[in-house]
Amino acid sequence: MSQHLFIRLGPIGLLTALFQSVVAALPAVAQEPPESPVPAVVSELSGSWEGSGVLFDRPAEFEMRWEVTQSGFVRLSFRNAFVTANGDRSPVLSAEATYVFRGATGVGVWVDDRPQQVTLSATATDTSLVTHWVAPSEQGRTEYIVDRDTVLVRDFVGAPGSERKFADAVYVRKRSG
């Protein structure tokens, strides 16, 4: 039978028929939802957030914007500012970070306007993202605890076992419009 098909279609016709049958099977495979390149908690962080809290024992405001790119990278834009007694803002830090995740762990780099380049190592759970960071002159960790449209962010500086909290903020998702 296969010899008869080969003679009837010829080598090019047989390859064409084989290729068409493989292509015909592809739509069924392509319709399956792709696996997310980032942990679910990171996807939940996507978007713009505004926060208020304490930075170095002073009242402060915070902004962060998370974006998951089509190629699977995660971008974070961040700004903070002290808030004076009369409500004026005094900028403290502005930064950009990029992460890449494999499963629940990620690595990245943070660059800020001090200027400082910081190496990032992150671990995600169902409700949190904990990033350990190392800069040339310091190290610490940042905890993002996500609860729907609210994120608690705590920042610590120092070696493990001797860390001290230097920032604590509650963020709410920015409403578009």
Which DSSP category does 39 fall into? -
Rounded to an integer, the average pLDDT of 30-59 is: 86
Euclidean distance between CA atoms 132 and 106, whole angstroms: 10
pLDDT in tens, 78-131: 999 999 999 999 999 999 999 999 999 999 999 999 999 999 999 999 999 999
Query: Above 90 in pLDDT, residue 26?
Result: no
CB 54 within 8 A of CB 167: yes
Residues 24 and 46 in one domain: no
Name the band, by pLDDT with cuts 50, 70 and 90, for residue 150: very high
Residues 55 and 79 in one domain: yes
Query: Above 80 in pLDDT, residue 15?
Result: no
Residues 66 and 135 in one domain: yes
Q: Where in the sequence is the domain holding 18, given as residue range(s)?
A: 1-32
**C-alpha dist (Å) from residue 173 to 52, 73, 75, 142:** 12, 21, 17, 19
Name the band, by pLDDT with cuts 50, 70 and 90, for residue 14: very low
Paired tokens of 163:
């860390």
Residues 125 and 85 in one domain: yes
pLDDT (0 to 100) of residue 151: 98
Residues 103 and 154 in one domain: yes
Closest CA to 174 of 43, 69, 62: 62
Phi/psi at 88 (5° precision): -70, 150
Residues 25 and 46 in one domain: no
Helix (H) or strand (E) holding 104: none
pTM, two decimals, is: 0.79
Residues 87 and 9 in one domain: no
